[in-house]
Structure 1
């Protein structure tokens, strides 16, 4: 790698000195790392590395300390190796990525994380029994990490386990962070609010979970109100929360499709944001935005989710950032990487919407007209709920059941404004 960095052939080992030898070395290393060796993709192998005080990796006749793997991954991620385009570096680019990602992830797990982060970090790993997506990680904690979930209780069905895992995470988090992120449930009878751990998202899609989680912590849509949570009803399928209904979705744009934000061309982002802005202008007409700002500033701050982002949020956005974004995407100005990435990370895999009262937001790609925007006690961001026609709650014939569609950004209600303007206290709401 160092030889490739400097482009000096005298530093290149003989084993990598010809194209044929380079290809064979690449094949050998690929057999060691993610996508080339199934060990990296199995859920039970996480604790094999995390629990021992000194782990050894066996690779054919070789025996390597796990500490050596960690040291190599740290150095490759340290920035000491600039991304120069010498052939040797290009050849090993995929191997390096498939090596550093899992190793650094396991190092984070060794240091300790919350149960929610642990489950989300490793949910992409495979398991023959879908219950092992939870059970295989329980041994990483010295205590019962998720209230109500016993270690390796295989008498419990997958549906009941995932319900208990989700409600237990809500209790341990004392908030609704477990409900954020894309929610694609494939198991029959699994409630819309339950985390379907059997779904295996690609681990290079930050908008699936981490992007939502990082953003979640920067807002206070609930005005700081404590979680109001009681035991689920109807055999654990009916979640009981409290909150306020803010508005109903009136217009919905076409989603910006793409699994990996970095792979979406700028032209596609420009086209989508242009269509969405026209949708907003038609829907609002001559109305002012509810919070008083100009529609143009509101639109571009919404496109950034009101945050300047790298991997993590750097700071809240302001009107100057919004105007800079407008100039870059629609005014022909050179693209600023920070602004561009902030927009890209916010809207990839999402869609734009306008509510009846004129609020605008970005939310799940399966959002439809008639969905409702709610602020729930214990939830730092708004959530999109879909009324279930014909179904009523067990406590009030006037309160319908809801399906949870996902979390959303809605400009003007992210810092407790909706809670401050309410005319009555939070009402019971029953996602199922």
Structure 2
């Protein structure tokens, strides 16, 4: 299928018929010439659209929209008007149609209608757009090139952090536009990588499109294989095989990824509903279980960390038990509430509860901001760095020429001291905008002047979203603090697997597994090596390294998920492993 789409002149994406309440632009017909009427339903994303855009905001049409629009009307044409405005460089907060109390609702419902068709959520259709030379989107009578969607989404992302996140306006407008932008850019960034012949691997694709659905669970993996450009030299090539069930597909895919990457970091992110939700071991990733909203971004940021060094042993026993080398960190003694996907106002109370939890279990004398933290620095500094993953978001499109290419990755860089001020701003609601916000003639009137403090706070807010959404804050027995998976609990243990970028939260399995001459498959050796790629194809093959085991394994753990633990993310455990506290131990994951 990939070759068919790649060889086509144009791919037409059919979203379905328009609905009875959809406004496609008929209201502006009296304002257009015969030639302009002929192209009413065809959008171009350039100057050819200007006549109908001008007609849409004319007084005659505006009066019709006021009197003729039902409360539940769906303004598809208005959604395209907003897309055109974004492409032209107008920020979402500056588009008057979105600031109007009555006009904005139908337009946002228009966005929802465009993004509602099942096409957007299906796994198989990703390659239709990614590899195609030209893509046209059709919705009922309307047609538009893909570039209108991708350019508008990019422009929206570049500007969205400048709005005051404590104002009412972003709450009213954000959800539909943010969802639109996220769904479009998932595909567009992959399309760009494909066109630039980047070595796109299976793991990054699985993470990015994990939220897509498929009628056959196996297609969550199989549908993306056509987009894999390169396989690593020691990676077993996965082929679509509908003779095996979904559980086996998940097992073989996880095993192949562990062998190819050579690190337990592969298991970072959402694993499954619980550690025992099917017949697979807890370390096998169930790709059908949905991720949190910003999980792909969080996982993309993993290369900023090197908690377990570069090399680690991973052995597979009995085709079920993973034997690894790790440094034991500590036991979890307190866990905070989950930070769900939310606005900045709803996030604030959760963060405040986390600070109280931190102060409850850690000696914060003489003050929270100045008390000593076990991992170095102060407790206050450790806390704000923990909740943002010790990273800060750099506005997309910002000039980063002053930074080395290794210091800025996809909009993020290591957190600077400015994060402390941004954290204090996040803790305190900013209601100053209310003195400059009013409703005049049905429009939200609000200052749109750039505010560096607002941009800084919102950038910090976004970093916290990516690091903590769908996760919980925790404290360990010796005073380490961190953020981990939503299903972690008191009594779990934090380990740092060697070769892993991040620590993991594990749960004692209280059982024993005995090998009786069973074969051992070495997925990663402790010596490690730099990844090598070969073109995807019949020559992709994983070398077999096998021996046997007669050991009775007692140190068994369920994998709960990955974690950020402040003070151990830069290889401290590996560098200090000669000390008894950091001594290497062999454990097994089941």
TM-score, with normalisation over the residues of structure 2?
A: 0.60
Within the alignment, does 1:196 sit opposite 2:286 as a pair? yes
Within the alignment, does 1:238 sit opposite 2:288 as a pair? no
Cα distance, 1:13 vs structure 2: 6.2
* 3-state SS of paired residue (2:290): coil
Q: 2:121 aligns with which of 37, 41, 49?
A: 41
Cα distance, 1:15 vs structure 2: 11
Map of 1:167 onto structure 2: 255
Within the alignment, does 1:416 sit opposite 2:571 as a pair? yes
Structure 1 residues 376, 270: closer, same or farther in 2, change over 3 A? closer
Counterpart CA distance in 1 for 2:159 and 2:380 is 38
Could you tell me which runs of 5 or more consecutive residues in structure 1 were left unpaired when the two chains were aligned: none
Larger mean CA deviation between 326-335 and 187-196 belongs to 326-335
Looking at CA atoms only, which structure, 1 or 2, has the larger radius of gyration?
A: 2
Within the alignment, does 1:346 sit opposite 2:478 as a pair? no
Instruction: State the Cα deviation string for residues 230-280 of structure 1 (Å, max 9, x = none).
Output: 3x2223x2223222212222x21322331x143652541353133223223
Map of 2:26 onto structure 1: none
Map of 2:337 onto structure 1: 255
Map of 1:52 onto structure 2: 132
Map of 1:217 onto structure 2: 303
Instruction: State the Cα deviation string for residues 91-130 of structure 1 (Å, max 9, x = none).
Output: 9976654544333322222223332121122121111110
Map of 1:300 onto structure 2: 384
Could you tell me which runs of 5 or more consecutive residues in structure 2 were left unpaired when the two chains were aligned: 1-48, 77-105, 165-169, 195-199, 396-409, 432-452, 516-548
Map of 1:181 onto structure 2: 269
Structure 1 residues 12, 310: closer, same or farther in 2, change over 3 A? farther
8 Å CA contact 1:222–1:377 kept in 2: the answer is: yes
How many equivalent pairs are there?
417
Structure 1 residues 338, 12: closer, same or farther in 2, change over 3 A? farther
Cα RMSD for the two superposed structures: 4.2
Cα distance, 1:174 vs structure 2: 3.6
Counterpart CA distance in 1 for 2:173 and 2:366 is 54
Counterpart CA distance in 2 for 1:272 and 1:63 is 49
Counterpart CA distance in 2 for 1:214 and 1:296 is 27
Structure 1 residues 64, 350: closer, same or farther in 2, change over 3 A? closer
Q: Identify the structure with bigger relative contact order (alpha carbons < 8 Å, sequence gap 6+).
A: 2
Counterpart CA distance in 1 for 2:344 and 2:67 is 29
8 Å CA contact 1:49–1:55 kept in 2: the answer is: yes
Counterpart CA distance in 1 for 2:146 and 2:389 is 40
Counterpart CA distance in 1 for 2:483 and 2:324 is 23
Map of 1:229 onto structure 2: 314
8 Å CA contact 1:352–1:362 kept in 2: the answer is: yes
Q: 2:225 aligns with which of 131, 138, 145?
A: 138
Structure 1 residues 419, 399: closer, same or farther in 2, change over 3 A? farther
* 3-state SS of paired residue (2:244): coil
8 Å CA contact 1:297–1:323 kept in 2: the answer is: no
Map of 2:85 onto structure 1: none
TM-score, with normalisation over the residues of structure 1?
A: 0.80
